[in-house]
Structure 1
Amino acid sequence: MNQPNKGLSIREMIEANKKKKYSTTNVFDKVMPFLLFLSAFVSVVTTVGIAFTLGFELFKFFERVPIAEFLGSTEWYPLSADQRFGVWALVMGTLQITVIAMIVAVPLGLASAIYLSEYASERARTILKPILEVLAGVPTIVFGFFALSFVTPILQALIPGLQIYNALSPGIVVGIMIIPMIASISEDSMSAVPKKIRDGALGLGATRLEVAIKVVMPAALSGIIASIVLGMSRAIGETMIVTIAGGSQPNFEFNPLNAIQTMTAYIVQIAKGDAGYGTIEYYSIYAVGALLFVFTLVMNLFANWVTRRFREEY
């Protein structure tokens, strides 16, 4: 057996290694930390740049519109002769979509996670989970036309008086869209619960359903809540589905049967050219975008807090 370092002292071996400092492996080890730092730095700079851009344009908007009107009024008519900039009309539309979506997504997502984690065989899990996750890859514009041309006619046949543009149809479809997120993250959290905990509960006489609901789900609570909060953030920020199927009528009323306009839908409307550059209507999209940025940031911070607060370690 070839032993090139045989007979060398520790000091001599260190000196020999120093002479290899320009080897390919050594250069790779020195470059990789810099590349990884650069990747993290770009992410931080991008976030700071977004915040700075929103803040700069937001200042121009509030030079013309009092912040008391923006946050204290419920009328949003930026393109009319008698302009109104009460953002709560857009917030109410966004809230309707989010509530309907979570009513659809949470039960179905958790039921899917329980089945995949506790009932499905290994073969069934390897087949069904990828199929479920494919749903997350469908473009949202396809979901939008699905909501408008398929879901809405069915709902109109069931609910008299339902408008062609409404909050119910896009809310249901947004809920369907975020089912894979809730199901996948929740299933991963539930699968991480040790098998011996399940075996202990079964040994005490619990049924499989009782084990899933009363033992596994509480043990995986941090991941489940995080998945729900992340799904809610996704629903708040959804754009194309609500733009296509929800309409463009901001109003401060919780009525899923009527047309609405969400914060993201309004941004799309103005970004298409309905307002000229430098006008107050143009700057209003930055005010709405900044509020949306704050909402999603708070939701993600809350998800991180929940994950840390309720994390179980085995």
Structure 2
Amino acid sequence: MDLFQSTTNADALPLGNHVLFSSDDVDHARAAVAEVYCDHRLEVIGRNPFAAQHNRLSGKALSINVMTYGAKTMIAPGALEGFYLFQFPVRGHASVNNGKNRYEIGGGTGGVINPEASTTMIWSEDCVQVMMQIEKRAFIEAACAEVCLPAGASLQFSGANKLHNSEGRAFLGILDYVIREAERGEVLLGGDTLLSKQLERTLMVGLLQTQVHNFTSVVTTNTGPMPRIIRSAESYMRENLGAPIMVEDIASAAGTSVRNLQGAFRSRYGRSPMTVLRDLRLELAWEELSNPTRTTRVTDVATELGFFHLGRFSEIYRKKYGCTPIETLRAARPGEGFGPF
């Protein structure tokens, strides 16, 4: 399946049922974009006719946008100030000047515009971009949690980044999934459920993992005892999600004491190792219930992952995902009449 292709019309832009505006008037387009982004200068510098369209799916802390101007266009917003902007051309290319960063995106590369630096862009006449607009405050909070960004530190992205590797494909796959579900009428962003909040956080973390920034080394290096302990522990957990393991087993696999293991997890996640293990098991349960076979049963999924009290399993599952396990299963295979257990 190709990424970012409309599910209804091969020639249409993705998110075609979430049109913000469509216009061949430059002033109208500039004003409409300014309402959701920021004030900017917009000039047509090519010969093709101007034909702008902006589709937009709004969440709580971020929005997913699909845009084209039709013609070769220069956009000069200055400093974005309140938000970061990830850009990924699915057709054509764009040149970006963001402070000292100067790069070209397109052909499988994307980039993030920093909010503090003055920005100027030139989009090619055939450019269609999938973009994420992320509130600066929310992104900084995510970075503090995920890459230990110190309080008051600045998060700065740099350059164009290829998204051809496994992490890049996974990130784009999640973005594409959210877009496709919205086209089917299932809007996953913007709700008050834990699933909506988790999806937004996952997309932010995806950018932290796939785009170069001033804390990339924290994400990618293998130095330091705490990251090694956590990586070893989490690897052991993922390999034994269905086994009756205890915190002593995890500590032994990580080559440390229970006390050091608990301290590492508290510092990194603010949670105990066993709580992290429980959440990993819940994630696997959600994945299996969301992609069921004809014989998938909630009881079997729960017990195979060590949840033997079904009422408690249903309660913590609902708190994490905003729905019960059986609701997830029924949504994954509607109309088939399978029993809940």
Shorter-chain TM range is under 0.3
Greater RCO (Cα-Cα under 8 Å, separation 6 or more): 1
Report the TM-score, using the length of structure 2 for normalisation: 0.24
Higher strand share: 2
Higher helix share: 1
Larger Rg: 1
